[in-house]
Structure 1
Amino acid sequence: MLYRSLQDFTALNIGRGRARGQTWDQLGAPLGLSGERLRKKWPIGMITRRLDNYRAARAARQAGPANVSPAVPSQRRPPTEDADKDSDTATAAPDAGAAPFAAQTPPQQLASALSFLQRRTGKPLRQTAADTGISPSHLSRLLAGTRRPSWPVAKNLVTACDGDPHEVRRLWENAHRPTTPLPAPAPPAANPADDPEQARIQLRDAVRGLYLAADRPDLRRIRAATANTLTSGHIECALAGPHLMGWSVTSRLVFALGGRPADLRPLWHTATRPAPMPLPPLAPSASRLHLMAEAFG
């Protein structure tokens, strides 16, 4: 019991530190661990699961043995529009108290996505660095979030790890966006695409990027992170389906994955805007100017 409490306390401190922008090296120093060692020992997914279990157990204790009820969902929630439910929500009651995935800063989200792709390959860091064309020490700093890569380096790294650069592009742009207002113009990705079809593609890539930064959890965990307000069908369609989901579903999913719905709402509005109707072709007779013979004298 004491060991479990200590582990919960450690997970809480690491999760809070990462949310505040602390590096893995800074968090590992009090524990006598290097940043890389701490990141491998305490991946974000493990921290999230432990904290979810802790919240559920604490809520059960507070409810008492005679009237055990699911944990109260986090009060930090997206817009409260009603979403349709299906039968799979009835089987998800044990996870009803799960909180959204740990909020991360944009640089942390980029580092988490790159780290997940690199771990999935099973390759040593040295081999991945050689495939990317950078040094192992530089790669280690990129994966730890202490350095931000240029786009060519990020793209080469994602490609070397068999990932999709389109899913990482928005994360990279957000990570390089200034945190304070500057007179310089905003990056191109800060403004939604003018074409609704292109905006739909960018929106889906942005949501998939958040899904990647959360270590691509299974649909059941994502559904629990939305307090079961979304179904597995909603989530699967938003991530991979051909149709654009409503803002209620999209915002809840973005929030549950640790993103900020307000950042993607302009893109969603553009994506849902009807495409302009093409102008009808001019009739052949209307495309030429006819003058009477008398006009030429």
Structure 2
Amino acid sequence: MLAQVSSLPVPALPLEAIRHYAALQRDLEDFIAVAVRIALDRGADWPDISALTSVSPSSLKSRYSKAQVARVVQNRKQRRPAPVPSAAPGSVAFGESPILPEATEPSVLDRSRDALARALSHMHRHSGTSVRTTALQAGISPSYAYRIMSGERCPSWPTVQGFARACDTDPGNLFELWSAANGVPPDSLAQPHERALARFAGALRGMHLARARPPLTSITDKLGSVSANELRTIATVLANQASPEVITLSWKATAALTKAFQGDVTRIRRLWQAVQQTVPGPDSPVPTE
């Protein structure tokens, strides 16, 4: 709009450019308000948002509280212009404020990349080191570290390995998150039992990490009728301790844990199957859920 105003063959009205700028600024303010609440819902913390916006956490909390953002959304609905049937989809009449599209369900790949970013961000916060120190130890720039923790960039596997080691975390806990974020399916080829077991346990820890490592007691109500023995096994695995008993986890318990962590049930099921198929003895039943 501003480009069109500046290229008019005759001078625009004195306030025309300012009017367009005000409309654009209003749209951006609406967008950031909703984006902040979405980020919080997906596991971000006020300090994370503060680092990206250069606004203090206290100011952010005041400006983007749930009540404030609800008012922003309501005000936007009230001022949205009526749709014009003859307009092309997505078109905006000259001088009008564009309409933000309705929220759509994020794709599996988007959710996977978001999970990886959350895990990296939580790892860094838990490490207690500065972004600059972590980035230098990982062999990347601080600005790139911010981008991968915010989900703006999807890092390579060597970068994830370096970042994990800089945060004193086993890179194996992030391998399935990274694979999912890059659309790489679980390996369906025959593999040693130890490898299948490590990938399965690492995937469970990765889901836990992506949810900021909530205590198991906080999700017990979501695990249904999981036995006490399986709960102990889950607690041991999530604590990053060696636990051969992980092979005894039923699919019912594994699926409940995956859903509680909002993980990819299909992906985890394939990893669970790989563990069962490498166990000596009769084949374990394949889940049908």
Which range, TM-score by smaller chain?
Answer: 0.5 to 0.7
Q: Are 2:209 and 1:209 equivalent residues in the alignment?
A: no
CA shift, 1:35, in A, is 3.7
* Residue identity in the other structure for 2:258: V
Could you say which residue in structure 2 is the equivalent of 1:171? Answer: 177
Deviation digits for residues 83-115 of structure 1 (CA, Å, limit 9, x no counterpart): xxxxxxxxxxxxxxxxxxxx9811111111111
1:257-279 deviation digits (Å, cap 9, x = unpaired): 110221121222221125568xx
Cα RMSD (Å) of the superposition?
Answer: 3.6
Report if aligned partners of 1:223, 1:232 keep a CA contact under 8 Å in 2.
Answer: no
How much does 1:128 deviate?
A: 1.2
The one-letter code sitting in structure 1 at the alignment partner of 2:255 is S
Deviation at 1:222, TM superposition (A): 2.3
Which of 191, 196, 200 is matched with 1:199 structurally? 196
Q: Given the superposition, is the C-alpha separation of residues 18 and 257 from structure 1 closer, same or farther in structure 2, using an over 3 Å criterion?
A: closer
Change (3 A) 1:117 1:40: farther
Look up the match of 1:140.
Answer: 146
Aligned residues: 190
Query: Do 2:135 and 2:142's aligned partners in 1 also have CA atoms closer than 8 Å?
Result: yes
Distance 1:139 1:225 in 2: 34
Matching residue's letter, 1:206? A
Give the drift of 1:132.
Answer: 1.4
Q: 1:110 to 1:37 in 2, by over 3 A?
A: farther
Give deviations 1:24-50, integer Å, cap 9, x for gaps.
9xxx7xxxx664668978xxxxxxxx9
Residue in 1 aligned with 2:134?
A: 128
1:270 to 260, 271, 274: 274
Structure 1 stretches lacking a partner, 5+ long: 1-8, 42-49, 51-102, 178-186, 278-297
Q: For residues 132 and 149 of structure 2, what CA distance do their matches in structure 1 show?
A: 13
Establish whether residue 149 from structure 1 lines up as the match of residue 155 from structure 2: yes
1:237 is aligned to 2:233:
yes
Q: Which deviates the most, 262-271 or 214-223? A: 262-271
Residue of structure 2 equivalent to 1:251 = 255
Higher RCO (C-alpha 8 Å, min separation 6): 1
Q: How does 1:4-153 map to 2 (within 5 A)?
A: 13-14=37-38, 18=42, 35=52, 105-153=111-159
In structure 2, distance between residues paired with 1:246 and 1:171: 22
Q: Given the superposition, is the C-alpha separation of residues 169 and 38 from structure 1 closer, same or farther in structure 2, using an over 3 Å criterion?
A: farther
Output the CA distance in 2 between the equivalents of 1:230 and 1:40: 39
- Counterparts of 1:214-225 in structure 2, within 5 Å, are 214-225=211-222
**Which amino acid in 1 is paired with 2:201?**
R
The 8 Å contact of residues 195 and 275 in structure 1, kept in 2 or not, is answered as no
Which residue number in structure 2 is paired with residue 45 of structure 1?
Answer: none
CA distance in 1, matches of 2:119, 2:134: 15
- The residue aligned with 1:160 is 166
What TM-score results when the alignment is normalised by the length of structure 2?
0.56
* Distance change >3 Å, CA 125–CA 34, structure 1 → 2: closer
- Provide the rounded CA distance (Å) in 2 between the counterparts of 1:203 and 1:39: 40
Q: Which amino acid aligns with 2:260?
A: A
Q: CA deviation at 1:193?
A: 4.7
Distance 1:164 1:263, change over 3 A: same
CA contact (8 A) 1:211 1:257 kept: yes
Gaps spanning 5+ residues in structure 2: where? 1-32, 59-65, 67-107, 238-242, 282-289
Change over 3 Å in CA distance of 1:151–1:274 after alignment to 2: closer
2:221 maps to a residue whose letter is A
TM-score, L = length of structure 1: 0.55
Distance 1:225 1:171, change over 3 A: same
2: CA distance, partners of 1:225 / 1:200: 24
